[in-house]
Amino acid sequence: MKSKQLAKGLVFALAAACTAAFSQTRALTFAYQDMLVPLRTVIDSGELERMTGYKIKWRQFGGGGDVIRAMSSGAVQIGEAGSSPIAAAASQGQDVRLFWILDDIANAEALVVRNGSGIQTWPDLKGRKIATPFLSTSHYQLLAGLKLAHVDPKDVNIVNLRPQEIAAAWSRGDIDGAFVWEPALSRIKADGKVIGTSGDIGVAGYPTFDGLVVDAKWAADNRDFLVALVRVVARADEAYRRNAARWTADSAPVRAVAKWSKANPKDVPAGIAAYRFPTLQQQVSAEWLAGGAARALGDTAQFLKRQGRLRQVQPDYGAFVTDEYARSALAMAP
């Protein structure tokens, strides 16, 4: 009898150990930023956790460069980053994969200068202190805008501040201007003037986007989770596209976006409308994951290298982009 009880005990102990080990693998840290995007409603709802059974730690970061560094250390498995920090990570050989275009930045980022500063045009930035998060899409666009205006970046005092730090520095009067995104953008626009936007610079040949990137090894072990993630994010984007007019300051989706992005709900409708959110079909097209995103990363890397921000570039950025999970999600769509 004792031997049978012992055997049963061993079986239960082994099962418990296996369950514990399995549950540990079904956990991740997801690095998000403060952009105003429909994905925030997914975070708020807990839908992804219920669908997959994974335990997700949603951790906010101040910029894409911070996200990429955390992924490099192994502290983060999936993260939001702009095309500029993704290009930098790929250029340095970091084993990540861009698998979803979170947003086409379009007009969602801008260069704002302080009222009364005397700055009217890009050449007026010479000798002024302009803040932006280094290696972010805003940083890239600031450098591109200066190039288009034939202004040497060395003639501008460009300082590295995260979005929340920019808002604080602006309030103190420490900076003359900043290139940044929402919600910090609305805070500085209240007593500032826009002299350039990401949309203007994109049309001139320097487009930008935000994407979801994943550690390649983790992705290989958690494919089904990534497909589920793509499905719920695609549904959230579609819900916004279909009902954008109903996303008012007092609506539940806007309150969720504001909560997780630390934004004022009244700023969310206009802020989110400045982005474009590609559909599942567009995601897997040549415009994005099937070619366009890799070309944009390559172009960004080449530009950053010419600006002295990168030492090397990759021969093919397609190796760092995959449409596998979006295609699987599309095949499952009703």
pLDDT, tens only, 271-317 = 999 999 999 999 999 999 999 999 999 999 999 999 898 999 999 99
**pLDDT value of position 25:** 66
Q: Does domain 109-203 have CATH number 3.40.190.10?
A: yes
Task: Report the b/e string of 80-116 with b at 16+ CB within 10 A.
Answer: bbbbbbbbbbbbeebebbbbbbbbbbbebbbbbbbee
Say which residues have a Cβ less than 8 Å from residue 211's Cβ, sequence separation at least 6: 80, 81, 82, 83, 86, 98, 99, 100, 101, 102, 293
Which residue has tokens 């300082």?
A: 159
Q: Cα(9)–Cα(144) distance, rounded to whole angstroms?
A: 66
What are the residue ranges in the chain where pLDDT is below 70?
Answer: 1-25
- Please classify residue 190 by burial: count the beta carbons closer than 10 Å to its beta carbon, then call 0-12 exposed, 13-18 middle and 19+ buried: exposed
Q: Topology of domain 2-104+209-332, per CATH?
A: D-Maltodextrin-Binding Protein; domain 2 (3.40.190)
| Residue 189 Cα to chain centre, angstroms | 22
Q: Are 129 and 176 in contact (CB under 8 A)?
A: yes
Give backbone dihedrals phi and psi of 100, rounded to 5 degrees, phi first: -155, 135
Which residue has tokens 């005092």?
A: 157
Q: Where in the chain is the domain with CATH 3.40.190.10?
A: 2-104+209-332, 109-203
**pLDDT value of position 326:** 98
Q: What is the pTM of this model?
A: 0.88
Cis bond leading into 183, ω under 30°? yes
